[in-house]
Structure 1
Amino acid sequence: MRFAVFLALGAGCAAAVPAHDVLSQTSLLKGKRKMNLLQEVPGLVPLPSAAKVAGLDTNNIQGDILVGMKKKQERFIFWTINDPARFKSTLRAFIVPQITSVQQLLSTTTQPLVALNVAFSQTGLQALNITDNLSDAAFSRGQFADANALGDPDPTKNGTAWVDAFRGTNIHGVFLLASDNATLLDAQEVVVNSSMGSAISVVYTLQGSIRPGPQAGHEAFGYLDGVSQPHVDGFGTAFPGQQTIDPGVILVGEQGDSLSAKRPAWTTDGSFLAFRQLKQLVPEWNKFIASSAPGVPGLTHAQSVALHGARLVGRWKSGAPVDLSPLVDNATLGADPTLNNNFDYTHQGFDLSSDQSHCPFASHVRKTRPRADLDAAPNSIIRAGIPYGPEVTDDELTSATSTLDRGLAFVSYQSQIAKGFRFIQASWANNEKFSFGKNDTTPGFDAVIGANRGGQRFMSGYDINDASKDLSLLTDFVVSKGGEYFFSPSISALRDFITAP
């Protein structure tokens, strides 16, 4: 029965049925998927067709690595290994045949009902007696040891926000399940957990979902997310303004991975996964934006508030960049992936070292993808996160206080954590002196994700009327609840190395 359900979940249509019916009436799941497992969001670069990815072995790469922020429903199941021998045999017999590749996700006709990926922490590999050096110090240490560098308050102290499961290095791995409805995720989770049995202990689960209606593709503060994804050479065609990067910036062992020669052969086509649970204080953010917005001549108060938020983020809620639309939103621009990335902060007649009239130096988008401020292709990441938690309630809006947990299940992929996620967070977002070479030598913290271990933060350039003014960021509107670093192996490595007897 257990094996039959696995086969059915990997082959059928997208009909929504109760979990108990999925498990007991597997014939309902036969046939081809009729609905795309992924969400195509206006403004985001669409995935390439299967015919346009010949430059990469997409049948060997786990699907989440290159797909990005397009899942409708996703569940993260974190676990520890109790019985390595049983774990490896179960993984080999039941899980590996169901691992979803990039190639499968590129077409509805080849997508499973539930996409399944797996990744391992350093201690997880060690539990399987895999002691190879993957040449990534951050991965070897684990994220708990990185908390200080990432700007988190000390997670060893009581009262800090880190989830207990992430404190230390006890998590060995994570299953990533993705589908277009939670019922199918429930069914697949039952099958995965029951097949593993006592070989693992599930220590934490987080459910993510795309936001409803017109907010699909937008993060909890309301801004279109994932617009600035890089283009991986060999994976389709670059859109105007996309940063083209060597595949080895994301995939271990490929062209552009500067540490390829130091890494075991089995790591080729894998990628390091950085996971962070980021709580977003939406009512508090809204109140702060409304109360601190400077008045702008010719704009109403509501328009000034919208502009203020857009300047802190670097994009309007539609996804339109403030660099191209500096006073009012342009929804048409935001929804067009051939236009909404085609900018670099340079403007004729304006000095790149001093001009913040179009976009503040410390805006989130500019801090994390500097464009003309700094050629930073080796620091690129593929972001593959998803919102979690409920929509803001009326009571929360009225009180301007968060009572429910919501935010972003942040996921990034890179071939070197020290050059990717860790560098972006610690050296750019948290560095009040970045970007360098500006007349204002302290642009401040990333207005959205910049962190100072719970201490004070500020940004300059927020006021379009007077760029010399500083804005005190009164609280952390994005609060880290912790996370872990993982390695997501290739499918062949899972089959031939990870699960080898």
Structure 2
Amino acid sequence: MPVPKDYREVDTDNIQGSIWPRLPKFYETYLFFKITNKERFRQDLRGILDRGLITTGTECEEHLTSVGEFKEACAYSRREMPENQREPFTAINVAFTHVGLLKVEHPDVEANFAMALKDDPDEYCRDRINEGLFEKGMFDDLVYEGADNPPALDPDFRAPPDNETKTGSERWKWRVDGVFIVAAHNARALRRKIAILEDAFNVGDVKGSMRIAFRRDGRVRPGADRGKEHFGYEDHISQPRIDGLDDPPEKGEPQACLPGYIFCGLNGDPNRRRGPKWAKEGSFLVFRQLDQKVPEFETFLEKKAWDPVEGIPGTNYKGPHGPAKLGAHLMGRWKSGTPVARAIDHDDPALAFDNKFDFRPKKSITRCPFAAHVRKMRPRADKKHDIGGEDDDSLEPLPEPGNDEAIDEGQREDASVILRRGITFGPELTDEEKSLKKTIEHRGMYFTCYQSGIRDGFNFLMTRWASNSSFPEYKTKTFPDGPGMDPFVNQRLRHDHPEGHISLYDGANKERTVKVDLGISPWVDQKGGEYFFTPSLRALREQFSTESLEEQSQSQSPTEDLPPAQLLDKIKQLEQEKQALEKAVGYAGLIRLDFLTRLNDADLRKLKHQVRDALERLASDVNWEHWREIIEEFNGKYGFDLLYDSTGLFEGISWSDWKYIHSSTQYSGYHRTVAYRNRLGQWCNNSKQGGTGEDGSGNGLLWLTFIVQLHDVLQAYKPEIH
């Protein structure tokens, strides 16, 4: 379990949950947007913050813990989960590109920067993020510094023709301003959540503050393949643990990384002193679309294992399981998640998700290939030169942390670590594709990751490690060819880039590898993406959003500052509103209304949004235990007071009474009507005459009646606040 909340180095109430621990999800949509009205967007963003729609790390942690899935890389968290057994959970996170942050930043930033430039023309804006790759974006980074081929990229992530001739802000205008990440437990809940979000920003309306430029829809694979990518390998294994946040690694696992490698402004962040203060506990988000060609990958494995002419020389990949072994050696793990470093020739499901290895002996070519994907992306002992020599065949366990300061120092992670997120997309492999051995349907992975710096994180991994045939270094038994490129994410996307290969053991010669050509991305098409920054909730509120004009006006004339005569009028108005409310509540009498007079307008607005959202959820998926928690939370926060009978229990009443209540209110709103009709029918099927407070149906109707009634009360009370 993670570090207790009071002792954490990261405020999980302040971070967005997609960074840590992760968004619980079965469905996930990325809404890439363009801001159409800067000031209105800032106001709308404040609105969703006030409604609690941006999901925090704490909220994700609590849900994952409650369903027993806080630990991501384990069989329980990857188990098959039918839709009707999933606990409801929806989430929204937001991130901005460089151009997007410029649009939503505080209005004073530009003016202050202009004044600073007058004093020092070489000054940089200390209220903005100064990360070169973030500013230029993925296209300019990986096309001009890397090897992305513009014609091969998705049009959504490709700059228009002749864009390279433009300078300054004109060069970035084609890019999106940001992305909303929306996650849910099923497709219906996802659609509702997206509708709530779009409604909050009036998308498609003349008053809209943004438009959706394009979207990407993903979902986890079905059944037993939950947690696997389309090639069939377990994903998101061996995530770095964060010091002062996650529980310590077990003996033999990589050491925890400093929090500043993932979160800006914290211990370990290389740019901690240079970045703006508001960037603290934010993180850079990388989005990259990877299209996967599953039949072509499987054909490659079979040909290289079995073909007498084009196959790999030697005996290492011969036999009926040769293709599976070759695939595992390219990935560095078997499809079960078992590391090749601990199970070289055969899968061992008992070691699935194991993380206790470090690739020693480092020069041996008979074990995990040097350029296997998991070794390229996290080289462990290959980059820790303090652990033995290159030819050290000793696999003696490392000393316990704290016993040898020099070894501890050499074991520590560096700033190249990233937190991997993302989700698969597209259908399962069809019978036609299997028969033709050719990809027809569009499928793959939306890869995302978080880090405190793109240069030290994603860019470094892609350009310096994955696409570098000489990394890891000092592997003399592979020369002159070198270890090779990462078989899955190398950037060999065009003919003028060095040809990709991987060096493998042939099963006989332990002193020299054989070279296996990879070609030009034969089974993974890298379609481009974008760089974003994910601010903390505090930064979203204080730096990138603002109160609406209505709220500003209200805050400038508080009730306590009114002259005596106006104050008396205000009291009279409140009394009249209370009387009107009492008339509006005519059918169950469960709510005492005096708590409303204790709410300021901001709290009242937030309550109205929360009740509306709750009613929308009640219209579909219901777990009464979960609903009881929601009501109790409302009660603790707003001071609700439910009326009970003399025994302390709420007693259900007869079917005819409930039917009358439903009939008398069925025209008050779609979600309200559907919620009442659905749950009423559910209750009647379970209990024809009535339910008591000790019965699940009776309790359910108590909470249902409370929410429906509160919804109606809030519609009548201060309708100008909505």
Out of 103, 107, 118, the residue aligned to residue 127 of structure 1 is: 103
Q: Distance in 2 between matches of 1:274 and 1:452?
A: 20
| Offset at residue 162 of structure 1 (A) | 2.2
Instruction: Give 2:434's aligned residue.
Output: 397
1:90 aligns with 2:44: yes
1:232 aligns with 2:232: no
Out of 286, 309, 323, the residue aligned to residue 298 of structure 2 is: 286
Structure 2 counterpart of 1:205, one-letter code: R
Out of 346, 352, 368, the residue aligned to residue 334 of structure 1 is: 352
Q: Distance in 1 between matches of 2:446 and 2:145?
A: 16
Structure 2 counterpart of 1:334, one-letter code: A
Instruction: Give 1:261's aligned residue.
Output: 273
1:60 aligns with 2:97: no
Equivalence map 1:149-188=2 (5 Å): 151-155=146-150, 157=151, 160-167=152-159, 169-188=174-193
Q: Deviations over 1:236-269 (max 9, x none)?
A: 2133313410000000001101211111111100
| Offset at residue 282 of structure 1 (A) | 0.9
Distance 1:387 1:462, change over 3 A: farther
Superposition RMSD on alpha carbons, in Å? Answer: 2.3
Structure 1 stretch displaced more, 381-390 or 100-109:
100-109
Q: Distance in 2 between matches of 1:332 and 1:55?
A: 35
Distance 1:95 1:208, change over 3 A: farther
Q: Distance in 2 between matches of 1:364 and 1:75?
A: 27
1:320 aligns with 2:338: yes
1:458 aligns with 2:507: no
Instruction: Give 2:131's aligned residue.
Output: 136
Q: Distance in 1 between matches of 2:272 and 2:491?
A: 32
Structure 1 counterpart of 2:530, one-letter code: E
Equivalence map 1:4-43=2 (5 Å): none
Structure 2 counterpart of 1:179, one-letter code: A
Distance 1:356 1:149, change over 3 A: farther
Q: Deviations over 1:155-206 (max 9, x none)?
A: 1x4xx23232553642000001111111111011111112212211111111
Q: Distance in 1 between matches of 2:280 and 2:219?
A: 31
The total of aligned residue pairs comes to: 443
Equivalence map 1:329-478=2 (5 Å): 329-335=347-353, 340-347=354-361, 352-353=362-363, 355-375=364-384, 376-439=413-476, 440-441=478-479, 442-455=482-495, 456-461=499-504, 463-466=506-509, 467-476=512-521, 477-478=523-524
Instruction: Give 2:529's aligned residue.
Output: 483
Q: Distance in 1 between matches of 2:145 and 2:290?
A: 12
Distance 1:296 1:433, change over 3 A: closer
Distance 1:191 1:290, change over 3 A: same
Q: Is the 8 A contact 1:49 1:107 kept in 2?
A: no
Distance 1:53 1:295, change over 3 A: farther
TM-score by length of 1: 0.83
Distance 1:250 1:346, change over 3 A: same
Q: Is the 8 A contact 2:485 2:501 kept in 1?
A: yes
| Offset at residue 401 of structure 1 (A) | 1.1
Q: Is the 8 A contact 2:134 2:454 kept in 1?
A: yes
Structure 1 stretch displaced more, 298-307 or 219-228:
298-307
Structure 2 counterpart of 1:261, one-letter code: R
Q: Is the 8 A contact 1:152 1:480 kept in 2?
A: no
Out of 324, 329, 333, the residue aligned to residue 306 of structure 1 is: 324
Distance 1:201 1:362, change over 3 A: same
Structure 2 counterpart of 1:235, one-letter code: L
| Offset at residue 154 of structure 1 (A) | 2.6
Structure 2 counterpart of 1:62, one-letter code: Q
The 3-state SS of whatever aligns with 1:178 is strand
Q: Is the 8 A contact 1:278 1:478 kept in 2?
A: yes
Q: Distance in 2 between matches of 1:139 and 1:426?
A: 16
Q: Distance in 2 between matches of 1:444 and 1:298?
A: 18
Q: Distance in 2 between matches of 1:117 and 1:69?
A: 9
Q: Deviations over 1:61-90 (max 9, x none)?
A: 100002248632211100000101111101
Q: Deviations over 1:452-489 (max 9, x none)?
A: 23333111125444552100113412111111000000
Q: Deviations over 1:119-164 (max 9, x none)?
A: 0000101222566431211101111101226754431x4xx23232
1:496 aligns with 2:506: no
1:117 aligns with 2:110: no
Q: Which runs of 5+ in 2 are unaligned?
A: 68-86, 111-126, 160-171, 203-207, 306-311, 385-412, 548-722
1:204 aligns with 2:214: yes
Q: Distance in 1 between matches of 2:383 and 2:215?
A: 38
Instruction: Give 2:140's aligned residue.
Output: 145
Distance 1:119 1:53, change over 3 A: farther
Instruction: Give 1:25's aligned residue.
Output: none
Q: Distance in 2 between matches of 1:298 and 1:446?
A: 20
The 3-state SS of whatever aligns with 2:215 is strand
Structure 1 stretch displaced more, 436-445 or 56-65:
436-445
Identity %: 35
Structure 1 counterpart of 2:513, one-letter code: S
Q: Distance in 2 between matches of 1:238 and 1:162?
A: 41
Q: Deviations over 1:403-436 (max 9, x none)?
A: 1111111110000000001100110001111111
Q: Is the 8 A contact 2:316 2:507 kept in 1?
A: no
Q: Distance in 1 between matches of 2:297 and 2:415?
A: 32
Structure 1 counterpart of 2:381, one-letter code: A
Q: Is the 8 A contact 1:295 1:304 kept in 2?
A: no
The 3-state SS of whatever aligns with 1:88 is helix
Higher Cα Rg, which structure: 2
Q: Distance in 1 between matches of 2:189 and 2:508?
A: 52
Structure 2 counterpart of 1:101, one-letter code: T
Distance 1:312 1:199, change over 3 A: same
Q: Which runs of 5+ in 1 are unaligned?
A: 1-46
The 3-state SS of whatever aligns with 1:65 is coil
The 3-state SS of whatever aligns with 2:415 is helix
Q: Is the 8 A contact 2:493 2:520 kept in 1?
A: no
The 3-state SS of whatever aligns with 1:305 is helix
Q: Distance in 2 between matches of 1:149 and 1:247?
A: 31
| Offset at residue 356 of structure 1 (A) | 1.8
The 3-state SS of whatever aligns with 2:200 is helix
| Offset at residue 305 of structure 1 (A) | 1.1
Structure 1 stretch displaced more, 491-500 or 104-113:
104-113
| Offset at residue 234 of structure 1 (A) | 1.5
Q: Distance in 1 between matches of 2:25 and 2:520?
A: 30
1 or 2, which has the higher strand percentage? 1
| Offset at residue 400 of structure 1 (A) | 1.4
The 3-state SS of whatever aligns with 2:285 is strand
Q: Distance in 2 between matches of 1:297 and 1:445?
A: 23
TM-score by length of 2: 0.59
Q: Deviations over 1:104-132 (max 9, x none)?
A: 11122699731110000001012225664
Q: Distance in 2 between matches of 1:462 and 1:76?
A: 42
Distance 1:465 1:186, change over 3 A: farther
Structure 2 counterpart of 1:139, one-letter code: F
| Offset at residue 54 of structure 1 (A) | 2.8
Q: Is the 8 A contact 2:105 2:544 kept in 1?
A: no
